[in-house]
Amino acid sequence: MSVSKPKTFDIDAFLGRTGVGRQVLDFKPGGRIFSQGDPADCVFYLQTGRAKLTVVSAAGKEATITLLGGGEFVGEEAMVGAVGTRMASATAVTACTTLKIQRDAMIRVMHEQHTFSDLFVKFLLAKSIRTQADLVDQLFNSSEKRLARILLLMAEFGKPGEPETLIPKISQETLAEMIGTTRSRVSFFMNRFRKLGFIEYNGRIRVHKSLLNIILHDHAPDRGANRSGLSRARRNQASSEASQPKLA
């Protein structure tokens, strides 16, 4: 008598369609996935599209925490202890398709399917590392570098596969909130990036790999300045040599 093998758990199927404790939901740009203060009783998996996390202070000031892309979870605070409340709001930036997973269903699959719990823990660790990088970026980098990093992250440079160089439409106000500066400074840097050929900006932003120069170097390359600096160095050297007494 043959023993049937246990059925292999299909993560893609679980995260891709409606089931027990799971519901696929579509959101238009600007649609609210969940709001700050809502009960944290479920986790969302972003199948396609882009979303953002925002918080509103007691004084009514809104700030964007981070941007999210396809393949990421959001609302994972629902897994911490008893059901609490949302500390932030999640809003669709582009048209989004999400899978809403009820807390009980999420707990059950994590206990029963180690491949899924491994995936979720990997996501949490990656998010923790990114949060640390965001903090270091905010503390030590200039606003110009912070803006360049945000644009590169939105274009998904560094992720497997080809980067999506044409990033979702995003306002300069939102970019200013994310890097902790003013809209006028963002406008200044965006114009500078465009003049240097690092981005194209005509309603939508297209990011080029050359924008990495802002991250990797303290200053953007300026060949003219390098040439003029070299010329001055040569003139100074020639003047110094001419002023030295010649040996007989």
What span, in angstroms and rounded, lies between the C-alpha atoms of 35 and 90? 6
User: Going from the N-terminus, what domains does the chain have, and what CATH number goes with each?
Assistant: 7-140 (2.60.120.10), 142-240 (1.10.10.10)
Lowest mean per-residue pLDDT among 23-27, 135-139, 235-239: 235-239
Rounded mean pLDDT, 149-166: 77
Query: pLDDT tens digits, residue range 13-47?
Result: 999 999 999 999 999 999 999 999 999 999 999 99
pLDDT range class, residue 241, cuts 50, 70, 90: very low
Rounded mean pLDDT, 139-154: 90
Helix axes 143-154, 183-195, angle to 10 degrees: 70
Q: What is the per-residue burial (b if ≥16 Cβ within 10 Å, else e) of 47-56?
A: bebbbbbbee
CB 69 within 8 Å of CB 50: yes
Alpha-helical (H) ranges within the chain are 11-16, 103-112, 114-140, 143-154, 172-179, 183-195, 212-216, 223-243
Q: What's residue 16's pLDDT?
A: 95
Q: What's residue 159's pLDDT?
A: 66
Rounded mean pLDDT, 124-134: 91
- Percent of all residues in the chain with a pLDDT value above 90, rounded to a whole number: 55
Q: What's residue 107's pLDDT?
A: 95
pLDDT reading at 245 higher than 50: no
pLDDT reading at 115 higher than 90: yes
| CA neighbor of 27 nearest in space, from 100, 97, 99, 102 | 97
Q: Tokens 């995936």 belong to which residue?
A: 119
Q: Is 153 exposed, middle or buried (0-12, 13-18, 19+ CB in 10 A)?
A: buried
pLDDT reading at 5 higher than 50: yes
